[in-house]
Amino acid sequence: MKKMHSYPKVMNRGILPEGAEEGKGSFEEVVPLPSHIGVSKTINYRNVEVPRSPCTAKKDCRVPPRAAQRLSKDWTNNLVTIPKDIGTIFFAIAKILCPHDWLEDDVYQSVILEMDRDVNFSDQLIFEYHALSPLFDNIFADLSADALILSLSNIENTPFFRLLLGRTILYLYDDPVVWSGCGYEGVAGCTNEMPRDDIDDVDWLPDPQAARGQS
């Protein structure tokens, strides 16, 4: 499927085709079609370099810290609920679901460790993973990118896929490392040492502890 674009006013020159001038003409872009189970297709994407403006991102210091960054090659030793071999598969899938070539592997590994921390969720995820076996035996034997994309296209309507996709998005894009790379500094006023500015400043409500003491 093709889309026609005109660019009389282009805010980001990075989307213009090479050699094009702002304010003149139009260009075609080949866009992906919705996937179909069992259908193999080749999609041509326009080659666009999107500029990023990295910064320093911070969360409120009261938010529990994430799983350790700068993990070693033996990062699966930190898994408690998710078996190591399955954790390796989930890590490979996470990189396919949310691909960013500027992120290091340990950012994606941290995503799996965050899933592992949530015992109720990780138990459910492992259950749904094993539920794939009767229909898709040994589906993740090949962890190459092309093989994973084909495998995932065949299970995209399963509970396992929806669970893993949802938590991958949640934990990846809640990481200050990703925020930094995207140019998002976090909520204004956050530091590593003290709570965010203007927090707990509602002075027109009664103190909860004092109210309990009067009841």
**pLDDT tens track for 121-161:** 999 999 999 999 877 777 888 889 899 999 999 999 999 99
Question: Residue 25 has what pLDDT?
Answer: 47
The rounded distance, in Å, linking the Cα atoms of 70 and 104 is 9
Tokens of residue 105, six digits: 């592997």
Question: Residue 196 has what pLDDT?
Answer: 61
pTM for this prediction: 0.65
User: How many Å is the maximal CA-CA distance in the chain?
Assistant: 74
Tokens of residue 23, six digits: 């304010």
Question: Residue 26 has what pLDDT?
Answer: 45
Domain residue ranges of the chain, discontinuous segments joined by +: 54-197
Question: Residue 40 has what pLDDT?
Answer: 36
> Please, what is the end-to-end C-alpha distance for the chain in angstroms?
66
Across the 215 residues of the chain, what is the mean pLDDT of every consecutive 10-residue run? 41 48 46 39 46 73 70 85 94 94 91 93 94 81 89 92 96 90 74 61 67 61
Question: Residue 201 has what pLDDT?
Answer: 60
Question: Residue 59 has what pLDDT?
Answer: 77
The percent of the chain in helix, strand and coil, each rounded to the nearest 5, is 40, 5, 55
**pLDDT tens track for 89-104:** 999 999 999 999 889 9
Q: For residue 49, give the DSSP letter.
A: -
